[in-house]
Amino acid sequence: MITWVGRKAIAGYAYLAALATLIAQAVLDLIIPPRQGRGETFRVLLRQILFTGVDALPVTTVIALLLGIIIVTQAGTQLPRLGAGGLVGSIIVVTVIRELGPLVTACIVVGRSGSAIATELGNMSVTREVVALRLMGIPISRFVIMPRMVGMVLSMLCLTLYFDVVAVFGGYLVADAQLTIPLDAFAESVIRALSTTDVFMTAIKGLGFGSAVAAVCCYHGLAVRSSSTEVPQQTTRAMINSFVLCLLIDVVVTVPLYL
Amino acid sequence: MSEAAIIFEKVRAPMGDGDLCLEMDLRITSGEFVACVGPSRAGKSLMVELAAGLVTPQAGRVLVLGQDWSAVPDDDLRSVRLRVGVVLQQPGLLSNMTLFNNVLLPLRYHRGAMSDRHREQAVMGQLERLGLASLRDRFPAELNQGEARRGAIARALMLEPEVLLLDDPVAGLDADMVLGLKAYVEDWRAHHSLTVLAALRASSPFIEAVDRLVVLREGRVEADGTRNSIREIIPSALNRYIE
């Protein structure tokens, strides 16, 4: 039993170290860009932002809007019973901006782009495209990993902030229609509840989740060796590990704030 | 003695999971066209992978253009890679790019200073010589095996390497394509200093273009020399690989 736990702990540590190495290498490639291949790398980055960020806007809008509506509907019906009807704005800040916004955005990004990255890189490994790139003198870390990681981090950050805004707007729609709270009162309630720390924490989570998801998905995609049956296996692992890591980061970022 | 482009120095490398090992001591002179032939599981692909630096030998060393792959510092690796073109059994064309963009990729990445017009001309020239110009906008999934392979050869030659390593370059090519590829490689060698090491699975007209044949069986070099010189010395079972 102890041996098993020890072996798992070592494997987990090695896994996190490998992810940290991927992230560190991507940061190095970003801040010390080589002379060669800037244009090509930038093209890959733009494609990643387009796919992860821009193409995800419709689904993010729908989910954020619905979530805002659900939360304010629940809060609007429950809080007045406790004599706390004025806390609707505070509820949406606490639940959406602090917690659900970054987490649900991470789920959207993992489901759409994380799985796509893991599958794409897995297929590239099977068809030996990754080896072909190496043989052409094109570094995988610069041409494949870094643009995907940067694209995902930027997209996650922007999508998280966009999600928060749309969810608050969805909340306002319910507040206005069902609870007859006027816009200025709702806005004042939200702004009063919102602190700089909330926005900062949201941004930190967006950055953390983006880096973690990108690193996990690139790692598992490139872990595929020679068989196409490995691709769905690694993609599943990438998605599950991404979710777990996002929750772990969330706990690490959030809990110290309330201690 | 002419300068050696590729040296297998007392190399020993395991072949797959079995007990067999590729063992060879071989020297390929600069500008030479060497084909390695033999039955399946003879170690031909492994020989190409060793020369490409994809596999590190268990013992001995492989020197390509004077560089030992396992000792090249990371900073210098890129410059060595640019001097060696490699096409493996799987062509490895990037599936999200058209054939044109695949062939253009090495120039775009490594020759940023070159104008777009010159790059396009160079790529189209290569594609036309290989009979692929009409397929320029097709994606790899829309190409057949022979077309993809020729596309990969065009890509490998875009940076005008000094060494070209080919693993089964005629697989999936019809008779006309093989002759076309042979003519293309001969023409390229006539105008550029190029050392070629090709692994060939079956006899084909492509073999007529080579300067020297290395016959492999179960990881051992059975014969090494010109086609005529080895014809008499190899076992009859291996003769069909060079005819």
Please give chain B's pLDDT, 243 residues, in tens: 568 999 999 999 998 777 889 999 999 999 999 999 888 888 999 999 999 999 999 999 999 999 998 888 877 888 899 999 999 999 999 999 999 999 999 999 998 888 889 999 999 999 999 999 999 999 999 999 889 999 999 999 999 999 999 999 988 888 888 888 889 889 889 888 899 999 988 778 888 888 999 989 888 988 888 877 877 777 766 666 667
Q: What is the pLDDT of residue A226?
A: 82
A35 in B contact zone (CB under 8 Å): yes
Q: Both tokens of residue B210?
A: 């080579």
Q: What is the pLDDT of residue B242?
A: 66
CB-CB contact of B2 with B60 (8 Å): no
Coil/strand/helix, residue B206 = helix
Domain of residue B207, CATH code: 3.40.50.300
End-to-end CA distance of chain A: 34
B81 in A contact zone (CB under 8 Å): yes
Is B115 contained in some domain? no
- Which position has the token pair 């019906």? A77
How many C-alpha atoms does A229 have within 13 Å on its Cβ side?
0
CA distance A240 to chain B (A): 26
Spell out which residues of chain A touch residue B81, defining contact as CB-CB under 8 Å. Answer: 134-137
Distance of CA B104 to the CA centre of its chain: 19
Domain, as residue range, for B28: 4-94+163-239
Q: Do A136 and B106 touch (CB under 8 A)?
A: yes
CA distances in angstroms from B139 to B30, B95, B98, B177, listed in the order given? 35, 6, 4, 20
Q: What is the pLDDT of residue A147?
A: 95
Spell out which residues of chain B touch residue A225, defining contact as CB-CB under 8 Å. Answer: none
On the 0-12 / 13-18 / 19+ scale of CB atoms within 10 A, B166 is buried
Q: Do A37 and B77 touch (CB under 8 A)?
A: no
Residue B214 pairs in a beta bridge with B36, B224
A132 in B contact zone (CB under 8 Å): yes
Q: Do A128 and B112 touch (CB under 8 A)?
A: no
Q: What is the pLDDT of residue A189?
A: 83
Q: What is the pLDDT of residue A19?
A: 95
Domain, as residue range, for A138: 2-258
Total of domains in chain B: 1
Q: What is the pLDDT of residue A87?
A: 77
> Any residues with CB less than 8 A from the CB of A179 and at least 6 apart, and which?
A72, A76, A85, A88
Give which of A149, A137, A151 is closest to A219, Cα–Cα. Answer: A149
User: Which residue did the predictor score with more confidence, A179 or A64?
Assistant: A64
Coil/strand/helix, residue B196 = strand
d(CA B134, CA A46) in angstroms, rounded, equals 29
Total of domains in chain A: 1
Q: Do B152 and A129 touch (CB under 8 A)?
A: no
- Preferred mutation among B96, B98, B109, B157 to probe A, highest tally of A CBs within 10 A: B109
Kindly state the average pLDDT of the residues A214-237. Answer: 94
Residue B216: which region, alpha, beta or left (left: phi > 0; alpha: psi -120 to 50)? beta
